[in-house]
Amino acid sequence: MKKIRVFILLPLLVMQGAVLFGAGGKEAKAGADKIIKFASCNLKAYEDSTKVLAEEVAKLGYTLEYTFLADNTQLNEAVERGEYFANYHQHTPYMNEFNREHKAHLAAAFKVFTDRSGLYTAKNYKTLDDLPDGARIVIPADAGNNFRAFTILIEAGLLRLKDGVNEEGASQADIIYNPKNLKFIEVDYTMLSRTLEDADAGFLYATVAFDSGIDPAKILAAEPERFQAADIIAVRQENLNSEKTAVLKKAFYTDAVKKSLRDSFGGIEVLIPEW
């Protein structure tokens, strides 16, 4: 009889163990589904708001696991490969250019803020008209941004492009009218503020101007509103309508995150929130 009992009980124990293991596996999977892996750039405003975002996400029953990276390409590649669910560092034109160059599948989940841009100077010029002939203008080297300095000068009547050229795809080769003989120096976006001292003017975002000790309100000329691109939270296209994306948006669009963006600049509203 003992042998029979052992024979009967062993399957029961195995079955019970399987049930317990299965339950534990489901719990672990459920926990993983509540984790949002998030990659942000390592600039102060992004870091500050990401930390507050994590607190707001936690209130919604999720955990934001975040990391800070300096390289824009790495930030996008990490989401494209699925290592992170979302990233926070770019506007839509930059993302679209990355998608074209890398055959990627990123999409704008929602807008977060506008970092107003324009032409700034570290010298004593007050307007664009004060720029000397042959003035050196530093502009971003990437195709998603360098045309934006041209649009400012076109609006001011200081540049004209070939007929039929799309402003968003314009390059120096497309300039046919440049009465001040302006010289454009293309540099990596991260180097713009460092090179401004050696130039007459340069294209900067308000945040970069602030970090460089320049009052964002004192610009030679602002970029036309139609080209002011809002920063976004980017995800892969198939995640646009996911619950995690909805959680991120709800957590971001809070007074706490808005306050953190303002506090990053000493209480000045350098960035313009989308909510």
Which class in CATH covers the domain with range 34-114+229-273? alpha beta
Which range, of 16-30, 98-112, 174-188, 193-207, averages the lowest pLDDT?
Answer: 16-30
pLDDT over 60 (residue 99): yes
Task: Give the pLDDT score at 181.
Answer: 98
pLDDT over 60 (residue 28): no
Stretch 25-30: mean pLDDT: 55
Which range, of 42-46, 242-246, 249-253, averages the lowest pLDDT?
Answer: 42-46
Task: Give the pLDDT score at 94.
Answer: 92
Stretch 174-194: mean pLDDT: 93
Query: Percentage of the chain surpassing pLDDT 70?
Result: 88
Stretch 182-209: mean pLDDT: 90
Task: Give the pLDDT score at 13.
Answer: 41
Which range, of 21-35, 175-189, 259-273, averages the lowest pLDDT?
Answer: 21-35
Q: What is residue 114's three-state secondary structure?
A: strand
Could you tell me how many residues make up the chain? 275
- Orientation of helix 44-59 relative to helix 255-263, angle to 10°: 160
In 3D, which of 53, 87, 93 has the Cα closest to residue 67? Answer: 87
Tell me the domain boundaries of the chain.
Answer: 34-114+229-273, 117-227
Q: How confident is the model at residue 23 (pLDDT cuts 50, 70, 90)?
A: low
**Torsion sign, CA atoms 28, 30, 31, 36:** positive
Which range, of 41-45, 60-64, 106-110, averages the lowest pLDDT?
Answer: 41-45
Task: Give the pLDDT score at 2.
Answer: 41
Stretch 171-190: mean pLDDT: 93
117-227: same fold as 34-114+229-273?
A: yes
Kindly write down the DSSP assignment for every residue of 72-116, as one continuous string.
Answer: HHHHHHHHHTTSSSEEEEEEHHHHHHHHHHHT--EEEEEEEEEE-
Phi-psi domain of 120 (left: phi exceeds 0; alpha: psi -120 through 50; beta: other): beta
Domain 117-227: CATH superfamily is Periplasmic binding protein-like II (3.40.190.10)
Which range, of 107-116, 188-197, 265-274, averages the lowest pLDDT?
Answer: 188-197
Stretch 144-156: mean pLDDT: 87
pLDDT over 80 (residue 11): no
Task: Give the pLDDT score at 229.
Answer: 87
Helix or strand (DSSP H, E) at 36: strand 35-41
Task: Give the pLDDT score at 214.
Answer: 84
Q: How confident is the model at residue 169 (pLDDT cuts 50, 70, 90)?
A: confident
Written as six digits, the tokens of 86 are 């979302």
